[in-house]
Structure 1
Amino acid sequence: MTVKERFEDAKVRYAELGVDVDKALEALSNIKLSMHCWQGDDVIGFDQKGPLTGGIQTTGNYPYKATTPEELMADMDKTFSFVPGKHKINLHASYAIFEDGEWADRDALEPKHFKRWAEYAKERGLGVDFNPTYFSHPKSEVATLSSADEEIRQFWIRHGQACIRISEYFAEQTGQTCMMNIWIPDGLKDVPGDRKAPRARLKDSLDQILSIDYDKSKVAIAVESKVFGIGEESYTVGSHEFYMNYAAKNDVMCLIDTGHFHPTENVADKLSSMLLFNDKMALHVSRPVRWDSDHVVIFNDDARDLAQEIVRNGADRFYIGMDYFDASINRISAWTNGMRNFLKALMYAELQPMDKLTRLQNECNFTELMSLQEQLKVMPFGDVWDYYCESKGVALEKDWFADCMEYEKEVLSKRV
């Protein structure tokens, strides 16, 4: 059978459950994922020569990582050729591109330092999301926005303000809202002597960053919590409780990173509660393995649960960024698997008979509810996925990897 024939057969089977497959695919095509640039070069960036710091660690020594803007953009292009739909790119400030020997420290970054990224996005019809980079810098060794050293704290406040202006520039250039996310690595390895004062300084720093005038229709700001990091196991200044309350009080979004919580927490369960009190929220989709390890996203229960909550609560209420990095495997394959797998999870969610599932729950008919949920797991989902990929002009599930390996042979292996 052809892809089209298998798809038509799947449509009939889903229709028997009350699912309009064409409507589901149309909804999926309107969801944008933000592809993170840092998978391509192991979170190194272009503005500093030092090591990766701030509780972040990449593991593995697979060859051929991108080391120049040109290589990184080429690898991103290859990945987008495997990913159905039109999406966004997600940049850190450390990926500034300096021309003709120019260099600017992070508190002096300007839109011109991201002109090539704006051109890259515009040429491809992509949006851009942005992140201040509060790690891998000499002034981030102890603390950033919570620093007791006022000179250092002001440096990082200026960096945050500069990033708002850069985010506004991206929105103006692409015609799409730029989501700017603030995450800091500030914390302590062992038991703190004072938990309150660093958080008070962080609050004041955020207040100063947000005090500048900017167009909120162009820039959507989020703050991101974390339970712990490497070297910050006992205390993080930017806890979930801190940021959730700060976001609610200051009309910004609270970003949920799926790797930033205790291993036994169900991150998907948090979304419906938060959206009762917020119009929108932001996500970083990762796969933690025992800790915030940023493994490549796979099509597992966690991904499906998260996607179902996104769809049930309205996908247009979310900014969805991908956030994983693996230096032990081919990086284009890592990007592609993670992006495609979460799109699969979103498609799986769109193909649920939501009204019927809700009705069964409301009727306390938990016997049929469980049985239907299990039936859905063996529906011909893959046939719909293949058709969606074909309709968007990208490789089928069985084909993209061979093309990826050919790219490694013809392009990546020739890198010094």
Structure 2
Amino acid sequence: MNPMIETAFGLAREQYAALGVDVDAALEQLAKIPVSMHCWQGDDVQGFEADAGDLTGGIQATGNYPGKASTPAQLRQDLEQAMALIPGAKRLNLHAIYLESAEPVARDKIEPKHFAGWVDWAKRQQIGLDFNPTCFSHPNSGDGMTLAHPDESIRRFWIDHCKACRRISAYFGESLGTPSVMNIWIPDGMKDLPADRLGPRQRLVAALDEIISEPFDEAHHIDAVESKLFGIGAESYTVGSNEFYLGYAATRDVALCLDAGHFHPTEVISDKISAASLYVRHLLLHVSRPVRWDSDHVVLLDDETQAIANEIIRNGLLERVHIGLDFFDASINRIAAWVIGTRNMKKALLKALLEPIDALRQAEQQGDYASRLALMEESRSLPWQAVWDYACAREGVPVGATWLAKVKEYEAEVLSRR
């Protein structure tokens, strides 16, 4: 290891120790916190269906940066390159459209065998897999309704799709020895004002209840549901609102997914974590970066990303919060997007682990709010970067921005030839 990195780390460890922070314990904990990277950053949410159509459901991946993956092998190769540049535990989050089959397979007929290649790869990488039904970009979602559709036959198609996905998710968990979190998000809503807001929600409740009726061992599979304030084509009414899914998760004992881009621009999910944790056992986070509205930009090490990490660590929720990412930027190198976003989430977790939380709590309990504020602000200037560099070097991951050279090299040798 570079002696300068070791020296800087030693000085940082002493400075943190003076505030009662055990840096070595923080590093050990950081290495074990998995962040679930999303496969769809690598190919702009296209997937590998034999009869794949246009991207719909209010989802847009803008940009045409060259080199995107067009086969499962290419996507896995790109993921391996990205993961090699990120320290600590990782997972991969798959959508149902990333199946592998030489023949077209209807979404309500997909099976574990169509994802066996992903499981074999995950075993080699020693990572867990998470999963999502794909309730968009399909003829049966063309009018903006899926599980809440008034047509029973269309609703049945999506119910059966989600049921099939749960079996695949349980297969992931059983095969890999770590539970797969399967998140249900649907685009259902209306562009203009509806006359009936209740009916679609009644249909959605009934559909979800049927979907989760087949029991699975929680050691293999965890159900999650994801809300949204609005979407493109669903600006006036979203069936699966925050209130709807918070109530559903609390009454059905499933996980609640909080997506950083799915709320009003003045709302943040960091404040929702502690509140929802009182009523919901498991939380799934989709850490993203909204710009104005739900634009899913690459995650930054900004105030909200840090606040999300702080809330998880301060409240001891690591065993109950599953951290995933959700962004897709087709205007920049896609591997760089993964690395920037995932490393930033890891940095935020490290900074949270290095916070002098005991001193902060003591000041708060004593009503000494000046000391609390002072400690919070001084913590921003503590040498966390030296600890981060040491964590990267210890795992053989590039330190600082040196990872970018690896991405450029890969782009020249692999991406540019596609």
Q: What is the TM-score with the length of structure 2 in the denominator? A: 0.97
Deviations 1:73-110 (A, max 9, x none): 00000000001012111000010111xx3221100000
The whole-number CA distance in structure 2 between the counterparts of 1:284 and 1:94 is 19
The equivalent residue for 1:214 is 216
Instruction: Report the 3-state secondary structure (helix = DSSP H, G, I; strand = E; otherwise coil) of the residue aligned with 1:114.
Output: helix
Alignment equivalent of 1:150, drawn from 152, 177, 191: 152
Alignment equivalent of 1:391, drawn from 391, 394, 399: 394
The equivalent residue for 1:141 is 142
1:217, CA displacement in angstroms?
A: 2.5
Alignment equivalent of 2:269, drawn from 248, 267, 270: 267
The amino acid that maps onto 1:113 is H
The equivalent residue for 2:12 is 10
Gaps of 5+ in 2: none
Deviations 1:291-348 (A, max 9, x none): 0100000101010000000111221211111101101100000000000000000000
1:267, CA displacement in angstroms?
A: 1.4
The whole-number CA distance in structure 2 between the counterparts of 1:177 and 1:237 is 28
Identical counterparts, % of pairs = 53
Instruction: Report the 3-state secondary structure (helix = DSSP H, G, I; strand = E; otherwise coil) of the residue aligned with 1:91.
Output: strand
The whole-number CA distance in structure 1 between the counterparts of 2:280 and 2:233 is 33
> How big is the alpha-carbon RMSD for the aligned residues of Structure 1 and Structure 2?
0.9
Alignment equivalent of 1:373, drawn from 367, 376, 389: 376
Gaps of 5+ in 1: none
Is it true that 1:326 corresponds to 2:301 in the alignment? no
The equivalent residue for 1:362 is 365
Is it true that 1:234 corresponds to 2:236 in the alignment? yes
The whole-number CA distance in structure 1 between the counterparts of 2:332 and 2:315 is 35
Instruction: Report the 3-state secondary structure (helix = DSSP H, G, I; strand = E; otherwise coil) of the residue aligned with 2:296.
Output: coil
Deviations 1:365-407 (A, max 9, x none): 1111111111111111111000001111211113100111111
The whole-number CA distance in structure 2 between the counterparts of 1:240 and 1:307 is 21
Is it true that 1:346 corresponds to 2:366 in the alignment? no
Deviations 1:143-189 (A, max 9, x none): 10000011000000000100010011111111110100000000111
The amino acid that maps onto 1:294 is D
Contact 2:224/2:257, CA 8 A, preserved across alignment: yes
The equivalent residue for 1:313 is 315
The whole-number CA distance in structure 2 between the counterparts of 1:88 and 1:135 is 24
Contact 1:31/1:316, CA 8 A, preserved across alignment: no
The whole-number CA distance in structure 1 between the counterparts of 2:110 and 2:217 is 19
1:49, CA displacement in angstroms?
A: 2.2
The equivalent residue for 2:74 is 71
Deviations 1:181-229 (A, max 9, x none): 0000001111111100000000010011011232233111000000011
1:410, CA displacement in angstroms?
A: 0.9
Runs of 4+ that moved beyond 4 A: none
The amino acid that maps onto 2:168 is I
Contact 1:40/1:75, CA 8 A, preserved across alignment: yes
The amino acid that maps onto 1:411 is V
The equivalent residue for 1:132 is 133
1:261, CA displacement in angstroms?
A: 0.7
Instruction: Report the 3-state secondary structure (helix = DSSP H, G, I; strand = E; otherwise coil) of the residue aligned with 1:162.
Output: helix
The whole-number CA distance in structure 2 between the counterparts of 1:72 and 1:50 is 19
Instruction: Report the 3-state secondary structure (helix = DSSP H, G, I; strand = E; otherwise coil) of the residue aligned with 2:219.
Output: coil
* Deviates most, 308-317 or 66-75: 308-317
Is it true that 1:402 corresponds to 2:405 in the alignment? yes
Instruction: Report the 3-state secondary structure (helix = DSSP H, G, I; strand = E; otherwise coil) of the residue aligned with 1:165.
Output: helix
Alignment equivalent of 2:57, drawn from 54, 58, 68: 54
The amino acid that maps onto 2:61 is T
The equivalent residue for 2:245 is 243
Contact 2:254/2:282, CA 8 A, preserved across alignment: no
The whole-number CA distance in structure 2 between the counterparts of 1:49 and 1:23 is 47
The whole-number CA distance in structure 1 between the counterparts of 2:302 and 2:357 is 20
The amino acid that maps onto 1:298 is L
1:278, CA displacement in angstroms?
A: 2.4
The whole-number CA distance in structure 1 between the counterparts of 2:379 and 2:309 is 15
